[in-house]
Amino acid sequence: MHDSTIESFFDLATATVTHLVFDPVSHGAAVIDSVLDYDPKSGRTSHTGADRVLDYIRQRGLQLQWLLETHAHADHLSAAPYLKERLGGKVAIGRQICEVQTVFRRIFNDKDLDTEGRDFDQLLDDGDVIHVGELPLHVMHTPGHTPACNTFVIGRDAFVGDTLFMPDYGSARCDFPGGDAAMLYRSIQRILALPDETRLHMCHDYPPAGRAPAWVSSVSAQRAGNIHVHEGVTEAEFVSMRSQRDKTLAMPLLILPAVQVNLRAGRLPTPEDNGVSYLKIPVNAL
């Protein structure tokens, strides 16, 4: 079996990496964690980042089959509907998105928010196998950051979402609704049980001064050097560290708009009678 080809696009404004994975033989493709540009000061969206991905797909004659979300992001809005409208493909996320929708429907008092995942074309379960062209992509449920987090494994590459970052930055926060540090530890151990040479592709990078953004690591590098969860760190030690660290973290800049949009598979709320979509800002609710 031949390997997939991967092209990654770094969005500086949100420190997000969108990965394009494709079969170089059949030209089938999947986009993982796309980004819709959003200006929180004006409330305006744009498509500069998504158009970079779209242009690459068109220039190489790829067939977009999947728009995969590793989870419902709190730090950027998904561009999945924009790409689907222009290129086709199915939008998919973990089945546990229904749990996340239920929680945030209450927080936003959003009676129009579906809680059965019907905004997505397909809900994925642990162990599912879908195909990118001729290449099998395996779904690994890796909750802890959120209940619906998945890692996508295709050949010797794994796309870990927010579960892990580069070794010098560590691991995902667990203080969002449904987050669980012990569960995250176990999910990370499952990822680190993959073969040593497995390449791990991050969804974000927040590089320290002096280092350029990077988003590819390996199982062996994470085991040896991840500052939060290297080999030898126990579950109790990790949970204690993660709980203390999470108390010091500010909420992401785009969490309120991002969650409302991403729980709808990237769709904006239904426009009101003036043709405008509105996002809610709950006061003293989070």
Q: Are strands 150-154 and 37-39 parallel, antiparallel or unpaired?
A: unpaired
Cα separation of 181 and 187, whole Å?
Answer: 10
Which structural domain, as residue segments, surrounds residue 212? 5-260
Average pLDDT, the chain: 97
Within a domain: residue 84?
A: yes
Return the pLDDT at 2.
87
Within a domain: residue 156?
A: yes
Q: How confident is the model at residue 247 (pLDDT cuts 50, 70, 90)?
A: very high
Specify the residue for token string 């945030």: 104
Return the pLDDT at 285.
76
Return the pLDDT at 233.
98
Could you tell me if 29 and 64 are in contact, meaning their C-beta atoms sit under 8 angstroms apart?
yes
Within a domain: residue 282?
A: no
Domain total in the chain? 1
The CATH number for 249's domain is 3.60.15.10
Q: What is the mean pLDDT of residues 11-39?
A: 97
Within a domain: residue 213?
A: yes
Please write the tens of the pLDDT for every residue from 80-134. 999 999 999 999 999 999 999 999 999 999 999 999 999 999 999 999 999 999 9
Within a domain: residue 280?
A: no
Within a domain: residue 120?
A: yes
Q: How confident is the model at residue 254 (pLDDT cuts 50, 70, 90)?
A: very high
